Structure 1
Amino acid sequence: MTQGHFRNGLLQRFDSETIKRLDLKAVDLPVNHEIEFPGNHIEHLFFIEEGMASMTTTFDDGSQVEVGLAGWESVQGASVLMGTKKSLNRVYMQVAGHGYTTTTSLAAQEFKRCSVFQDLTLRYLQAQFIQSAQTAGCNARHSVQQRLARWLLLCADRNGGRILPLSHEYMADMLGANRTTVTIVAGQFQSLNLIQYTRGKINLLDLPGLEKMACECYRVVRDHLTNLTEYDQGVGCTGQVSEQQLKAS
């Protein structure tokens, strides 16, 4: 495999030796495929090439609210490299796709090398934190109209297309909003020719128009993810770790 082979934004920037050491395995990611589940051990990292995953907080009554979206820019399961043994959130595929996996043990070894893998993984985890924090603030302060526009735009950015196989009920669950309210707002968007909705499918017709409807939270998350790879290489390192040091650790 060469870097040019990948669409994932992180894999594209790993050198050939890093790719080789990670021993990546191709994997299909169908709709509802569980990447992480609360209380389960994290055994693999997932690099999404195509498709879209949702990270949710699940409550005792079984309801869930989305705290983050992930697509081709992401690595999922990387919290294990921060010392997390069991997942705290549910992460599952919202839109089917495919990607690559590596084991947590191989990823941990690569992380200890203090190289581009560590730099970009930390940078992505920071971006994920910012997205979750911005989502929490958005849900508390902004209208359903603004939140739905923001969410649809973030979906489009990660899905790589304008057609989303999503229902009103699902969108309401992800936004933590009333389904009737979401249906009314989606109807307003359709009357303005911003979207076209058929059962279980949304076609995004006017992305600039949706951006005008969205709050500033979309821009904050989008811009941070756009700048994901503009990092200071080795910012958290004092130098790359040798093979001898790795074996001793």
Structure 2
Amino acid sequence: MNGPFRNGLLHRFDPKTIARLELRRVELPAKHEIEIPGRRVDELVFLEDGVASMTTCFHDGGGAEIALAGIESVLGTSALPGFKKSPNRVFMRVAGYGYATQTPMAQEEFNRCGVFQDLILHCNQALFVQAAQTAACNSRHSTQQRLSRWLLLCADRNVDRILPFSHDDLAEMIGARRSTVTVVAGKLKRLGVIEYTRSKIKILDRPGLERISCECYATVRDHLQ
């Protein structure tokens, strides 16, 4: 399989690496699960389109979103350091597609200690920074700042400024009550930075949204560049 690829990792691999991975295209509808807590990770997926969410799950069935991933990333890498089962839930927030490789092939390529390993480790580091920043943000910043940050991070990974999120989705993403999200989203709408319907949000004024957001957005964004 030859490029060009949109994925930030795939387009940096040489043709021999691409051939060894035996990539196949996979469609990724919204809510599709790529990693499930306690289950084996059978494949890695390089996103070409769409937005994925990484969440930590609790025994009561709830969860907290800790990171987002898009075309800059690869999903399923928890299998490469040797974890036999996934510690997190990873699923598609925004539908898209990608290229998948079987975990044994990825593991063999990772063990070659070349560019593949370097880029996978950099990707994992970026996810770690995002998760750590999310934890800090949740303890220090307002719901309005946190919502603005997540909208910006989602927009960075979605070429369309229209985001297919309901208020329930937003509440889950930032760990807030739905009623609180409704109030905050209404305020952002009155400020003219977004508009929304029942299940769609459109960013109207990105610079304005960046001013409302906290410093955590720039920290995560700059680390990905």
Structure 1 counterpart SS, 2:47: strand
Which residue identity is paired with 1:2? N
Query: Which aligned runs of 4 or more in structure 1 are off by greater than 4 angstroms?
Result: none
| 1:193 Cα deviation after fit | 1.1
Structure 1 counterpart SS, 2:192: coil
Residue in 1 aligned with 2:214?
Answer: 215
Which residue identity is paired with 1:56? T
Residue in 2 aligned with 1:105?
Answer: 104
Which residue identity is paired with 2:183? I
Residue in 2 aligned with 1:65?
Answer: 64
Residue in 2 aligned with 1:238?
Answer: none
Unmatched tracts of structure 1, length 5 or more: 227-249
Distance 2:115 2:131 in 1: 24
Structure 1 counterpart SS, 2:195: strand
TM-score by length of 1: 0.89
Distance 1:127 1:10 in 2: 13
Q: Deviations over 1:102-159 (max 9, x none)?
A: 0110001101111110000000000000000000000111000100000000000011
| 1:63 Cα deviation after fit | 1.2
| 1:192 Cα deviation after fit | 1.1
| 1:179 Cα deviation after fit | 1.2
Structure 1 counterpart SS, 2:61: coil
CA RMSD of aligned residues (A): 0.8
Distance 1:18 1:207 in 2: 38
Alignment check: 8 A CA contact 1:64 1:174 kept: no
Are 1:2 and 2:9 an aligned pair? no
- Highest Rg: 1 or 2? 1
Distance 1:39 1:25 in 2: 25
Q: Deviations over 1:38-97 (max 9, x none)?
A: 001011001010001101111111111100101111111112111111001110001000
Alignment check: 8 A CA contact 1:57 1:89 kept: yes
Unmatched tracts of structure 2, length 5 or more: none
Residue in 2 aligned with 1:192?
Answer: 191
Distance 1:37 1:201 in 2: 27
Which residue identity is paired with 1:104? T
| 1:2 Cα deviation after fit | 3.0
Matches within 5 A, 1:1-249: 1-3=1-3, 5-226=4-225
Q: Deviations over 1:151-184 (max 9, x none)?
A: 0000000112210010111111111111111111
Which residue identity is paired with 2:182? T
Aligned residues, how many?
225
Distance 1:15 1:113 in 2: 14
Distance 1:105 1:169 in 2: 37
Distance 1:60 1:78 in 2: 24
Distance 2:53 2:160 in 1: 17
